[in-house]
Amino acid sequence: MRPILAFNWKMNPQTEEEAARLAAASDETGVIVFPPFPLIHVVRNQLTKAMLGAQDVSAADGGAHTGEVSPEMLKALNVSSVIVGHSERRKLGEDDALVASKALQAARQGISPLLCVGESEAERSDGLEVEVVTRQLKTVFDLLGREGLGSRLMVAYEPIWAIGTGENDAPEDANRVAEIILKVAEGFNLFPRVLYGGSVTSATAGRYIGKHSTLSGFLVGGASLKPEEVRNMITEFLL
Protein backbone atom coordinates (compact mmCIF):
# COMPACT_ATOMS: atom_id res chain seq x y z
CA MET A 1 0.00 0.00 0.00
CA ARG A 2 1.23 3.46 -0.86
CA PRO A 3 2.45 5.21 2.33
CA ILE A 4 0.89 8.46 3.52
CA LEU A 5 3.12 11.46 4.20
CA ALA A 6 1.30 13.89 6.50
CA PHE A 7 3.15 17.19 6.80
CA ASN A 8 2.27 19.11 9.97
CA TRP A 9 3.65 22.63 9.58
CA LYS A 10 2.49 23.69 13.05
CA MET A 11 2.85 27.51 13.44
CA ASN A 12 5.06 27.83 10.34
CA PRO A 13 6.05 29.38 7.98
CA GLN A 14 5.56 33.07 8.68
CA THR A 15 4.88 34.32 5.14
CA GLU A 16 2.58 33.41 2.27
CA GLU A 17 5.56 33.30 -0.11
CA GLU A 18 7.30 30.62 1.96
CA ALA A 19 4.06 28.69 2.29
CA ALA A 20 3.54 28.72 -1.47
CA ARG A 21 7.08 27.47 -2.09
CA LEU A 22 6.80 24.73 0.49
CA ALA A 23 3.40 23.64 -0.78
CA ALA A 24 4.73 23.42 -4.34
CA ALA A 25 7.61 21.22 -3.11
CA SER A 26 5.14 18.98 -1.23
CA ASP A 27 2.62 18.56 -4.02
CA GLU A 28 2.50 14.81 -4.67
CA THR A 29 -0.19 12.15 -4.48
CA GLY A 30 -0.02 10.54 -1.05
CA VAL A 31 0.91 13.78 0.73
CA ILE A 32 -1.43 15.66 3.06
CA VAL A 33 -0.29 19.19 3.95
CA PHE A 34 -1.51 20.66 7.27
CA PRO A 35 -0.83 24.43 7.17
CA PRO A 36 -1.87 26.95 9.83
CA PHE A 37 -5.38 28.36 9.16
CA PRO A 38 -4.35 31.74 7.66
CA LEU A 39 -2.22 29.94 5.04
CA ILE A 40 -4.82 27.38 3.96
CA HIS A 41 -5.90 29.47 0.95
CA VAL A 42 -2.34 29.91 -0.32
CA VAL A 43 -1.60 26.21 0.06
CA ARG A 44 -4.87 25.18 -1.55
CA ASN A 45 -4.02 27.23 -4.63
CA GLN A 46 -0.68 25.44 -5.00
CA LEU A 47 -1.80 21.86 -4.55
CA THR A 48 -2.83 19.81 -7.54
CA LYS A 49 -2.02 16.28 -6.30
CA ALA A 50 -1.54 16.50 -2.53
CA MET A 51 -4.50 16.74 -0.18
CA LEU A 52 -5.22 19.67 2.09
CA GLY A 53 -5.41 19.23 5.87
CA ALA A 54 -6.10 21.44 8.89
CA GLN A 55 -4.36 21.39 12.28
CA ASP A 56 -7.45 21.75 14.43
CA VAL A 57 -11.24 21.94 14.30
CA SER A 58 -13.97 23.03 16.67
CA ALA A 59 -16.19 20.50 18.37
CA ALA A 60 -19.07 22.93 17.77
CA ASP A 61 -20.98 23.53 14.52
CA GLY A 62 -20.97 27.31 14.74
CA GLY A 63 -21.96 30.16 17.04
CA ALA A 64 -20.28 32.01 19.89
CA HIS A 65 -16.86 30.30 20.00
CA THR A 66 -14.14 32.94 19.71
CA GLY A 67 -11.12 31.75 17.78
CA GLU A 68 -12.65 28.44 16.72
CA VAL A 69 -13.08 27.11 13.18
CA SER A 70 -16.02 24.86 12.32
CA PRO A 71 -15.83 21.62 10.34
CA GLU A 72 -18.23 23.10 7.79
CA MET A 73 -15.83 25.99 7.17
CA LEU A 74 -13.02 23.49 6.63
CA LYS A 75 -15.12 21.44 4.27
CA ALA A 76 -15.85 24.56 2.21
CA LEU A 77 -12.09 25.05 1.85
CA ASN A 78 -11.68 21.48 0.51
CA VAL A 79 -9.94 20.29 3.64
CA SER A 80 -9.96 16.50 3.56
CA SER A 81 -8.30 15.70 6.89
CA VAL A 82 -7.87 17.30 10.30
CA ILE A 83 -5.41 16.59 13.13
CA VAL A 84 -7.07 15.87 16.49
CA GLY A 85 -5.48 14.94 19.79
CA HIS A 86 -2.01 16.24 19.00
CA SER A 87 0.06 16.27 22.18
CA GLU A 88 0.74 19.99 21.73
CA ARG A 89 -3.02 20.58 22.05
CA ARG A 90 -3.57 17.97 24.78
CA LYS A 91 -0.94 19.95 26.74
CA LEU A 92 -3.28 22.97 26.48
CA GLY A 93 -6.01 21.00 28.22
CA GLU A 94 -7.78 19.00 25.50
CA ASP A 95 -8.96 15.72 26.98
CA ASP A 96 -10.05 12.49 25.32
CA ALA A 97 -13.72 13.51 25.35
CA LEU A 98 -13.03 16.80 23.55
CA VAL A 99 -10.72 15.08 21.07
CA ALA A 100 -13.47 12.55 20.35
CA SER A 101 -16.10 15.28 19.77
CA LYS A 102 -13.76 17.09 17.39
CA ALA A 103 -13.16 13.85 15.49
CA LEU A 104 -16.89 13.18 15.33
CA GLN A 105 -17.80 16.65 14.06
CA ALA A 106 -15.10 16.47 11.40
CA ALA A 107 -16.17 12.99 10.29
CA ARG A 108 -19.79 14.12 10.05
CA GLN A 109 -18.65 16.64 7.43
CA GLY A 110 -16.74 13.96 5.53
CA ILE A 111 -13.37 15.14 6.84
CA SER A 112 -10.96 12.39 7.99
CA PRO A 113 -9.76 12.84 11.56
CA LEU A 114 -6.05 12.11 11.98
CA LEU A 115 -6.03 11.06 15.62
CA CYS A 116 -2.69 11.47 17.42
CA VAL A 117 -1.92 9.21 20.35
CA GLY A 118 1.24 8.64 22.36
CA GLU A 119 2.76 8.37 25.79
CA SER A 120 5.05 10.70 27.74
CA GLU A 121 8.63 9.84 28.63
CA ALA A 122 7.64 8.97 32.22
CA GLU A 123 4.81 6.74 31.00
CA ARG A 124 7.17 4.91 28.64
CA SER A 125 9.70 4.39 31.44
CA ASP A 126 6.92 2.88 33.54
CA GLY A 127 5.91 0.59 30.67
CA LEU A 128 2.51 2.30 30.38
CA GLU A 129 2.52 3.08 26.64
CA VAL A 130 -0.06 0.44 25.71
CA GLU A 131 -2.40 1.49 28.52
CA VAL A 132 -2.15 5.21 27.63
CA VAL A 133 -2.58 4.71 23.89
CA THR A 134 -5.49 2.29 24.37
CA ARG A 135 -7.30 4.81 26.56
CA GLN A 136 -6.74 7.59 24.02
CA LEU A 137 -8.07 5.43 21.21
CA LYS A 138 -11.14 3.95 22.87
CA THR A 139 -13.08 7.17 23.51
CA VAL A 140 -12.69 8.20 19.88
CA PHE A 141 -13.31 4.75 18.36
CA ASP A 142 -16.40 4.35 20.49
CA LEU A 143 -17.96 7.70 19.53
CA LEU A 144 -17.19 7.40 15.81
CA GLY A 145 -18.09 3.72 15.72
CA ARG A 146 -21.55 4.43 17.16
CA GLU A 147 -22.34 6.70 14.18
CA GLY A 148 -20.70 4.42 11.66
CA LEU A 149 -18.10 7.10 10.85
CA GLY A 150 -14.97 5.24 11.92
CA SER A 151 -13.91 4.31 8.41
CA ARG A 152 -12.70 7.86 7.87
CA LEU A 153 -10.28 7.73 10.79
CA MET A 154 -6.47 7.63 10.57
CA VAL A 155 -4.23 7.23 13.63
CA ALA A 156 -0.75 8.62 14.23
CA TYR A 157 1.36 7.05 16.95
CA GLU A 158 3.61 9.81 18.26
CA PRO A 159 5.52 9.12 21.48
CA ILE A 160 5.55 12.58 23.08
CA TRP A 161 9.22 12.27 24.03
CA ALA A 162 10.13 11.83 20.34
CA ILE A 163 8.31 14.95 19.08
CA GLY A 164 10.68 17.73 18.10
CA THR A 165 13.49 16.27 20.20
CA GLY A 166 15.50 14.35 17.63
CA GLU A 167 14.81 11.17 19.64
CA ASN A 168 13.65 8.17 17.62
CA ASP A 169 11.59 5.27 18.89
CA ALA A 170 12.98 1.87 17.95
CA PRO A 171 11.19 0.77 14.76
CA GLU A 172 10.19 -2.55 16.36
CA ASP A 173 8.69 -0.71 19.36
CA ALA A 174 6.79 1.71 17.11
CA ASN A 175 5.45 -1.19 15.04
CA ARG A 176 4.55 -3.11 18.20
CA VAL A 177 2.39 -0.19 19.36
CA ALA A 178 0.94 0.15 15.84
CA GLU A 179 -0.14 -3.51 16.02
CA ILE A 180 -1.87 -2.85 19.33
CA ILE A 181 -3.61 0.17 17.80
CA LEU A 182 -4.94 -2.05 15.02
CA LYS A 183 -6.02 -4.70 17.50
CA VAL A 184 -7.95 -2.16 19.59
CA ALA A 185 -9.48 -0.76 16.38
CA GLU A 186 -10.54 -4.22 15.26
CA GLY A 187 -12.55 -4.54 18.46
CA PHE A 188 -14.63 -1.61 17.15
CA ASN A 189 -14.69 -3.09 13.65
CA LEU A 190 -12.35 -0.34 12.44
CA PHE A 191 -9.27 -0.68 10.25
CA PRO A 192 -7.42 2.66 10.26
CA ARG A 193 -4.11 3.46 8.61
CA VAL A 194 -1.48 3.92 11.32
CA LEU A 195 1.25 6.52 10.85
CA TYR A 196 4.34 7.12 12.96
CA GLY A 197 5.49 10.56 14.10
CA GLY A 198 8.21 12.13 16.21
CA SER A 199 11.37 13.65 14.72
CA VAL A 200 10.96 11.70 11.48
CA THR A 201 13.45 12.74 8.78
CA SER A 202 14.31 11.38 5.36
CA ALA A 203 17.30 9.68 6.99
CA THR A 204 15.25 7.81 9.63
CA ALA A 205 11.83 7.19 8.03
CA GLY A 206 12.87 4.14 5.98
CA ARG A 207 13.58 2.13 9.14
CA TYR A 208 9.92 2.17 10.19
CA ILE A 209 8.32 0.86 7.04
CA GLY A 210 9.22 -2.49 5.55
CA LYS A 211 7.66 -5.67 4.23
CA HIS A 212 6.38 -6.77 7.62
CA SER A 213 5.68 -3.43 9.25
CA THR A 214 2.25 -2.37 10.44
CA LEU A 215 2.98 1.34 10.04
CA SER A 216 1.90 2.81 6.74
CA GLY A 217 3.11 6.38 6.74
CA PHE A 218 4.41 9.31 8.74
CA LEU A 219 3.29 12.46 10.47
CA VAL A 220 6.21 14.81 9.97
CA GLY A 221 6.72 18.17 11.69
CA GLY A 222 10.13 19.85 11.54
CA ALA A 223 11.43 18.03 8.48
CA SER A 224 8.31 18.94 6.48
CA LEU A 225 9.45 22.58 6.57
CA LYS A 226 12.63 21.77 4.64
CA PRO A 227 12.10 21.44 0.87
CA GLU A 228 15.07 19.09 0.47
CA GLU A 229 13.77 16.77 3.20
CA VAL A 230 10.32 16.88 1.62
CA ARG A 231 11.72 15.99 -1.79
CA ASN A 232 13.76 13.11 -0.37
CA MET A 233 10.77 11.63 1.45
CA ILE A 234 8.51 11.96 -1.59
CA THR A 235 11.14 10.27 -3.77
CA GLU A 236 11.67 7.44 -1.30
CA PHE A 237 8.05 6.65 -0.49
CA LEU A 238 5.77 7.99 -3.21
CA LEU A 239 7.51 7.99 -6.59
- Which position among 28, 88, 94, 158 bears the catalytic label? 158
Active site residue 158: yes
Closer to ligand PGA by CB, 5 or 220: give it.
220
Please give the Cα distance from 133 to 160 (Å, whole number): 11
Burial 79-105 (b: 16+ CB within 10 A, else e): bbbbbbbbbbbbeeebebebbbbbbbb
Q: What is the rounded distance in angstroms from the CA atom of residue 134 to the CA atom of residue 65?
A: 31
Which of 86, 94, 123, 129 is the catalytic position?
Answer: 86
- CB atoms under 10 Å from CB of 191, counted, come to 12
Dihedral (Cα; 193, 28, 88, 15), 10-degree rounding? -170
- Which residue lies nearer to ligand PGA by CB, 4 or 219? 219
Q: Which residues contact 161 (CB under 8 A, 6 or more apart)?
A: 120, 121, 124, 167, 198
| Residue 14 C-alpha from the chain's centroid | 21
Give yes or no: 17 in active site: no
Measured at CB, which residue is nearest to ligand PGA?
221
The distance of closest approach from Cβ of residue 187 to ligand PGA in the complex, given in angstroms and rounded to an integer, is: 26
Going by C-beta distance under 8 Å and a sequence separation of 6 or more, which residues neighbour residue 66?
none
Q: CA 58, 56, 96: angle at the middle one, nearest 5?
A: 75
- CB closer to ligand PGA, 26 vs 199: 199
How is 156-190 classified by DSSP, letter by letter?
Answer: EE--GGGTTTS----HHHHHHHHHHHHHHHHTTT-
Q: In this complex, which beta carbon is closest to ligand PGA, that of residue 136 or of residue 199?
A: 199
Which residue lies nearer to ligand PGA by CB, 118 or 150? 118
Q: Which residues contact ligand PGA by CB under 6 A?
A: 8, 158, 163-164, 197-200, 219-223
Cβ 189 to ligand PGA shortest distance, Å: 27
Residues that are catalytic: 86, 158
